[in-house]
Amino acid sequence: TAQPLIVAIDGPAGAGKSTVAKLVAGSLGVPYLDTGALYRALALFLDARGIPPVECDALYSALQEVSLEITEKEILLEGKNVGAEIRTPRIDTVVSAYASLPMVRNRLLDLQREQGKRKGLVADGRDMATVVFPDARVKIFLTASDEERARRRFLELRERKENARYEDVLEQIRERDRADSSRSTAPLRKADDAVELSTDGLTIGEVTGSVLALVREILNKENHNDAVQ
């Protein structure tokens, strides 16, 4: 098959998408695309300018003006690496409201699709398999219980020496999932043809191994079909 390999990974916050997607991409030798970082970068830009998450002229102009670039290693907002600034409690709180707006989602659609055209990619987000890459050859929906996902986030925050209460982290994760799943444009949901992988109690290595095994199985099947035809 001549089509570049697209692996689409969706799921709720803290399911392990970005960690696993990065490792899978490295192992397959294709680029990794963190689409959550794109939404976070736009949220950072809009929030800093005091533009509220409603579809209005100010939002439209800001989205026309903003410069957002994807390089091999990082995402550049107005030419600057904002890797740290986009992962703050403030952005965690506001990002879903901006991400619910069709204007915001449209701004990112071609940018995301463009990335996969040359070398393929492993992309993670909420609507990879349903909207952005509906023809992806591999579609995975990663999940874990709310409590497990909150525990992972909590440990991550503690590692970074940030003060957080487990109960608050759990409530914030639930609130973001609620917002992402209930919006009308590109809500978080499993694509009908995606494989669901529950990761409760599994290590990062085990999940990565399962995803890679699935990718190989699908590629082998395609090769076999090509040979038969």
Using CB under 6 A, list all residues that contact ligand CDP: 11, 13-19, 35-36, 39-40, 95-96, 99, 125-127, 152, 156, 176, 180, 199, 202-204, 207
CB of 30 to ligand CDP, least distance (A): 18
CB of 101 to ligand CDP, least distance (A): 10
Q: Which residue reads 């002229």 in tokens?
A: 57
CB of 196 to ligand CDP, least distance (A): 14
CA 87 to CA 89: how far, in whole Å?
7
Nearer to ligand CDP, 107 or 126 (CB): 126
Nearer to ligand CDP, 200 or 217 (CB): 200
Cβ contacts of 188 within 8 Å, gap of 6 or more? 10, 11, 12, 126, 127, 177, 180, 181
Phi and psi angles of residue 29, each rounded to the nearest 5 degrees, phi first: 75, 30
CA 171 to CA 177: how far, in whole Å?
10
CB of 229 to ligand CDP, least distance (A): 34
Nearer to ligand CDP, 156 or 222 (CB): 156
Virtual torsion, Cα 6, 11, 14, 15, nearest 10 deg: -80
Nearer to ligand CDP, 172 or 219 (CB): 172
CB of 228 to ligand CDP, least distance (A): 36
Nearer to ligand CDP, 202 or 218 (CB): 202
Count Cα atoms within 13 angstroms, Cβ side, for 55.
Answer: 9
Q: Which amino acid is at 181?
A: S
